[in-house]
Amino acid sequence: MSEATSLNDQGMLAWHEAPVFDHEYGNKNKCYYEVDKKNGIARLLFGDDISDREAEECRQPESEAQAIALASPMDKKVEFGGYVARKSDLLGALVLACYTGSLDTNNSTVSENERVRRYSALLDLYGDDRNSAARVTKAFEFASVNLRDRFPLDTMGRYRVAVCDQMAISGKF
């Protein structure tokens, strides 16, 4: 876990754990909070359908305190390249695991370490669900053996994604 620093009352450097926003509260279309309950921190986000009056109300300290008190745990998620896989969306995680496995060994944009980190993050989504974790592994390994280093990425990986989509939809993983 990464840590952050700040100056304490005496002007000395102090170490703090970085916030972990693992709880949520509010309406994602209006005003929404991501909450770190352990440290009592809320991050305010606004949706597309919010008025100026509602935004001002959300900025009030009482609203933030209410969000911290009433926030519920978030559905675990992993984000890569604009795609989000959530624990509640196994199909999406399978497709993302497959595509991650298909990345070439000489890919200059995604190193081997990053590829493995992404795979590990997807596995962590299902740490308590052995069957789903096994399916994620199967998708990753299928692509590593059958798609990796075989098809050029000049189509921005469209062929690989299409194969991964069809394999996941047809229940092959």
Question: 37 burial class (0-12, 13-18, 19+ CB within 10 angstroms)?
Answer: middle
147 and 102 Cβ atoms separated by less than 8 Å: yes
- The whole-number pLDDT of residue 43 equals 92
For the chain, how long is the longest CA-to-CA vector?
62
- The whole-number pLDDT of residue 2 equals 41
Query: Per-residue confidence of the chain (173 residues) as pLDDT tens digits?
Result: 345 555 566 666 666 677 888 899 999 889 999 999 988 999 999 988 899 999 999 999 999 999 999 999 887 888 887 778 888 889 989 999 998 888 877 766 678 888 889 999 999 999 889 999 999 999 999 999 998 877 665 566 778 888 998 999 999 98
Q: How far is CA 24 from CA 34, 49, 68, 167, in A?
A: 5, 18, 9, 33
- The whole-number pLDDT of residue 1 equals 39
Q: % helix / strand / coil in the chain, to the nearest 5? A: 45, 20, 35
pTM of the model: 0.63
